[in-house]
């Protein structure tokens, strides 16, 4: 049996999922030619929430898995790097052009090594928070159970957790 607590963070991001082609991949059987096959390859943005669930087999002396007021400080450092920035895959064929536009306009770019789908972003945040716990020396007592990304309106959710 384990205890859990979830802390949610809100931010705004721009991105493009440049690999998208609805005619390929899982779900291609449902593709309708009336729909653009790569609409998410366009530059666009989202208001998202990132829900980080922590777990522990036991509670501390204050009856907490972790004090969410304390853990929000290091996670907010990461959030602040990304909030209101454009997340771009370094392998995106448009990356050099995006980088030039961002530099010219003194805009914010957050470069990553993956196509920034909600699924990949949930894994990215999972690994980053896991590293925060490890660096603080508390990763043996407290685990990151899962990270869930919610889109605006809660119509899309992506979740990442390690396989058991």
Q: Please report the sign of the dihedral spanned by the C-alpha atoms of residue 33, residue 36, residue 38, residue 40.
A: negative
Catalytic residue among 40, 49, 55, 119: 40
Q: Is the backbone of residue 84 left (phi > 0), alpha (psi -120 to 50) or beta?
A: left
Catalytic residue among 4, 44, 81, 84: 84
CA–CA distance, 44 with 12 (Å, rounded to integer)? 11
Catalytic residue among 4, 81, 103, 152: 152
Q: Please report the sign of the dihedral spanned by the C-alpha atoms of residue 121, residue 125, residue 126, residue 131.
A: positive
Q: Please report the sign of the dihedral spanned by the C-alpha atoms of residue 17, residue 23, residue 29, residue 32.
A: positive
Orientation of helix 118-136 relative to helix 68-82, angle to 10° = 130
Instruction: Clarify whether 15 is annotated catalytic.
Output: no
Instruction: Clarify whether 84 is annotated catalytic.
Output: yes
- In the numeric block, which tokens belong to residue 123? 């894994």
CA–CA distance, 13 with 48 (Å, rounded to integer)? 8
Instruction: Clarify whether 152 is annotated catalytic.
Output: yes
* Catalytic positions: 40, 84, 152
């Amino acid at each position: 049996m384990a205890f859990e607590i979830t802390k949610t963070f809100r931010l705004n991001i721009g991105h493009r999922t440049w690999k998208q082609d609805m005619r390929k991949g899982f779900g291609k059987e449902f593709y309708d030619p009336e729909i653009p096959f790569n609409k998410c390859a366009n530059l666009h943005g989202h208001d998202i929430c990132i829900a980080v669930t922590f777990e522990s087999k036991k509670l501390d002396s204050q009856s907490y898995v972790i004090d969410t007021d304390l853990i929000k400080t290091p996670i907010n450092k990461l959030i602040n790097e990304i909030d209101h920035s454009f997340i771009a895959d370094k392998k995106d064929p448009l990356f050099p052009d995006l980088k030039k536009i961002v530099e010219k306009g003194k805009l914010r770019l957050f470069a990553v090594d993956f196509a920034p789908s909600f699924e990949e972003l949930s894994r990215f945040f999972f690994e980053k928070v896991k590293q925060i716990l490890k660096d603080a020396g508390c990763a043996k007592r407290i685990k990151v159970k899962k990270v869930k990304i919610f889109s605006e309106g809660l119509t899309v959710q992506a979740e990442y957790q390690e396989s058991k």
